[in-house]
Amino acid sequence: MNDKPQSKIDDESDSTLSALLNLAGPTAEIPDQLEQRVYASVRSEWTQSTSRPRVMRWAVPAALAATVLIAISMNTSNVDVPSLPVGTVVANGNGVFVGDVIDTGSGGISLVLDGDISLRVDSNTILAVDSARSFTLMAGQIYVDTGDRIYADRHITIVTQSGKATDIGTQFSVRYENADMSVAVREGQVDLSDNRQTYSAVRGEKVTIRPGQEVQIESVPIAGPEWEWAIALAPGFELDGHSLLDFLKWVSRETGMELVFDSDEVRAAARRSRSYGSIEGLTPLEAVEAVLATTQFDYSIDGDTIHIR
């Protein structure tokens, strides 16, 4: 039983809230009357015992709203979450924890999970973090890249109300809209299941599960417009410390385009070459043009193939 006087509790709450709001950093000038109302509202939230999950919203239009969301989102005293995050947001380094619900609004985000797994969340998407390797897609679209090798502990499971999908060393997307679940595979294999049976999708296949209907399997290109939103959210590549060949392989994997060298000698030269600087803010194809312009190499694109000479 808490024997502290109510005035003491109120003072501690005020102090804690002040510290939380200060952590958000400087914001736009706020009228005193509005600031008092917002502070009172946040204080009320803080002093109430709650078990709501932490909601992480990434498309907040106003500095004031962002400050309030930071304060409220830290009210997790009754939520059983691990002390360490399961991943981080690429843009700002914020941690993502089990129990979080990610609501992207009008702008997508890119996450890096433990093991350098890339999870990209499209705009207008709601995604719940169930565990370090399992997520519930409530609406919208996500993209996962677990790497180009098969690891027993790196599988990702995406769950919807219509079914679930688990990858086997791959790149794939899952879209959930109007109870339809679609899984498109760029590389590797994804195993799917619903309440009737299991299915498998491999490179270049798209499987759509519609409740009460036959499962639809169709071909899907591994490069092109289908994947542009995911490419736009690709984590950057650090040029320093990597060979030009490493960089070109990254471009090939992100775009789904085949990488072809004019000869073994050109490939070997790319392995020996080093590039420096930053490609932050550039798409993979924009980065190719910028990086190769500083070298003795040239390139051309023919359909879904990048030729290096």
Interval 258-279 mean pLDDT? 95
Interval 2-23 mean pLDDT? 51
Residues pairing with 143 in the sheet: 120, 173
Using 50, 70 and 90 to split pLDDT, how confident is the model at 11? low
Diameter of the chain measured on Cα atoms:
80
Residues pairing with 106 in the sheet: none
Domain boundaries of the chain, sorted by first residue: 6-73, 87-226, 236-308
pLDDT score of 46: 42
- Whether residue 200 is predicted with pLDDT greater than 60 in this model: the reply is yes
Phi, psi of 150 (to 5 degrees): -95, 120
Share of the chain above pLDDT 70, in %: 72
Q: What's the topology of domain 87-226?
A: Jelly Rolls (2.60.120)
pLDDT score of 29: 54
Q: Are 86 and 131 in contact (CB under 8 A)?
A: yes
pTM: 0.75
pLDDT digits (tens, 9 = 90+) for 132-170: 999 999 999 999 999 876 555 568 999 999 999 999 888
* Helix runs in the chain, H state only: 6-23, 32-47, 63-73, 228-232, 244-255, 264-272, 284-292
pLDDT score of 9: 46
Choose among 33, 145, 53, 163: nearest CA to 103.
Answer: 53
Q: What's the whole-number average pLDDT of the chain?
A: 81
- Whether residue 297 is predicted with pLDDT greater than 70 in this model: the reply is yes
Interval 228-239 mean pLDDT? 94
Burial class from Cβ neighbours inside 10 Å (0-12, 13-18, 19+) for residue 139 reads middle
Using 50, 70 and 90 to split pLDDT, how confident is the model at 55? confident
Report whether CATH 3.55.50.30 matches the domain 236-308.
Answer: yes
Nearest-angstrom CA–CA distance, 82 and 39: 29
The tally of CA atoms less than 13 A away on the side-chain side of residue 290 is 15
Task: Using only the alpha carbons of the chain, give its radius of gyration.
Answer: 23
Lowest mean pLDDT among 51-60, 92-101, 215-224: 51-60
For helices 6-23 and 32-47, what crossing angle results, to 10°? 120
